Amino acid sequence: MLLYTVKRLGLAILIVCLAMLMLLSAIHMVPGDPAGIALGPRATPEMREEFRALMGLDRPFFVQYFKFLANVMAGDLGVDVWSKRPVSTMIGEQLPHTIALALVGLGWAILLGIPMGCFSAVHRNSPLDKLTAILSVGCIAIPSFIVSLYALLLFAVELRWFPAIGAGEAGDLEDQFVHLVLPGLAVGLGWVGYLARFVRTSMLEVMGENHIRMARAYGLPTRRITYIYALKLAILPTVALLGVGVGSLISGAVFAEIIFARPGVGKMVVDAVNTRNYPIVMGGVLVTTMLFALSTLISDLVAAWLDPRIRQSL
């Protein structure tokens, strides 16, 4: 387990280093002045000079890379080209909104998806199981931004049940939660499908195992076997999967943030892409990639801890 942890941690660090290499080399790959490419046509010569000095663009590439690496490790992601504010501060302000949205989305997906999967596994091949299967595939297939748009249209514009834009008053928890309902619904819907399918498969696997058959032979009630003995085992790989869910929802939240005009890292990055503010894009992409790498790392470690077979695979 220790060896696996070290190897997996090494892979995660390598991945983040490679991500930084790609982000930095992107502005060098396109022909032309890297500072001009990073800052766009509206940048003044002074701004380009400043960016050049900040990134050390006149020095050899690997020196730039290690400077960038050292800066990131010290928590310095550069400054916003236009407002001159540190990018790390800006991300720090936006990140809680994005994480809250991802957690609410995943939260309701857990509450609905896991029971759906259990139900399907218990009533295997019944009409309701087939209906659940179709519903899960549908949830996974439909793009989340369509769900966001339709939810906005139906529940905010037509029915006026929920607020359409913003994140709610700062400090007013109830208001903030009400503002999270529709975006959370939209980002979580796909995961309802994923979880339902995943839980169904692992439940069916567990139900076929010897100790469950044994319990059945002893005449224990089906309900007790299903929800106490089988679910306890079947839920473990799902717990490992949830890490991936948080990581992918943090970047997947971008559409919901744009559509519901919510603050968040995704919205910040998209706005920066439109104004060609590369330091913000770079910082935002790097932080979300790191969070993604971290959450997949945690879920892989949990999975390996639960299932020793996985430890051999790396």
Partner 1 sequence: MAGVTASDAGTPIRRESRLSWLWQLLGDPLGAFGLFLVLVVVVSAAFADVLAPYDYKALDVKARLGAPSWDHLLGTDNLGRDTFSRILHGGQIALYVALVSIGASLMLGLILGMLAGYGPRWLDNFLMWIFDSVRSFPVIMFALAVITVVGPSLETIIFVVIATTTPGYARIARASTLATKNTEFILAERSLGAGVWRIMFSHLVPNIVQPLLILCSMDIPVVITIEAGLSFLGLGVKPPTPSWGSILNDGFGFIRNTPWLVVAGGIPLIVTTLGFTFLGEALRDVLDPKLKKDR
Q: Which residues bind partner 1 (CB under 8 A)?
A: 11, 14-15, 18-19, 22-23, 26-27, 29-30, 37-38, 134, 137-138, 140-143, 145-146, 149-150, 152-153, 157-158, 197, 201, 247-248, 250-252, 254-255, 258-259, 266, 269-270, 272-274, 276, 278, 281-282, 284-285, 288-289, 292-293, 296
Specify burial of residue 94 (Cβ count, 10 A radius: 0-12, 13-18, 19+): buried
Residue 264 DSSP label: S
Nearer to partner 1, 37 or 215 (CB): 37
Nearer to partner 1, 111 or 134 (CB): 134
State how far Cα 139 lies from the chain centre: 17
* Least Cβ distance, residue 38 to partner 1 (angstroms): 8
Contact 79, 85 (CB under 8 A): yes
Contact 152, 260 (CB under 8 A): yes
Residue 155 DSSP label: I
* Least Cβ distance, residue 214 to partner 1 (angstroms): 23
Nearer to partner 1, 229 or 260 (CB): 260
Nearer to partner 1, 65 or 145 (CB): 145
Question: Please, which residues have CB within 8 angstroms of residue 95's CB and are 6 or more apart in sequence?
Answer: 265, 287
* Least Cβ distance, residue 190 to partner 1 (angstroms): 10
Specify burial of residue 30 (Cβ count, 10 A radius: 0-12, 13-18, 19+): exposed
Nearer to partner 1, 208 or 221 (CB): 208
Nearer to partner 1, 30 or 111 (CB): 30
* Least Cβ distance, residue 273 to partner 1 (angstroms): 5
* Least Cβ distance, residue 227 to partner 1 (angstroms): 24
- Length in residues, the chain: 314
* Least Cβ distance, residue 60 to partner 1 (angstroms): 21
- SS3 per residue for 108-142: HHHHHHHHHHHHHHHCCCCHHHHHHHHHHHHHHHC
Dist CA 37 CA 225 (whole Å): 62
